[in-house]
Amino acid sequence: MQPLYLAASEQGALPELRRVIVAYGNQIAMEPTLQQSLARIFGGRPAAAVAAAAPPSAAAPEGPAGGRALAQRAWEIWTRAQDALRRGDWATYGAEQKRLEETLRALTQGQR
């Protein structure tokens, strides 16, 4: 997952998030939000309920359902990180980013 930014304007504004690129196996999506990119890859919409992230030591589920579960977990972690960012809670944001990294690593390792 890689954010795509446009250059800031002359007034010194911050770059603006325009698209989120998600790659899973040999599928790639580039949509305005992470949720939309995940939906394009996995079909449908992620569940509205936010479940607690599994500990990093938990085994990654196998198969397509496991990939969907990991993608859902990544979405939930990203949502919590964005909430922390809006609150200026940098410690929580950092912890969630670490969880997101671990989840995405497990997701990509399942494709090998």
Per-residue model confidence as pLDDT tens digits over 70-112: 888 999 999 999 988 888 888 888 899 999 999 888 888 765 4
For the cut 50, the answer to whether the pLDDT of residue 11 exceeds it is yes
Q: Report the phi/psi class of residue 12: left, alpha or beta, with left for phi > 0 and alpha for psi in -120 to 50.
A: left
Per the structure, the count of domains in the chain is: 1
Distance CA 86, CA 96 (A): 13
Which domain covers residue 62, as residue numbers? Answer: 2-109
For the cut 70, the answer to whether the pLDDT of residue 63 exceeds it is no
For the cut 80, the answer to whether the pLDDT of residue 10 exceeds it is no
Read off the pTM: 0.43
Q: Are 15 and 3 in contact (CB under 8 A)?
A: no
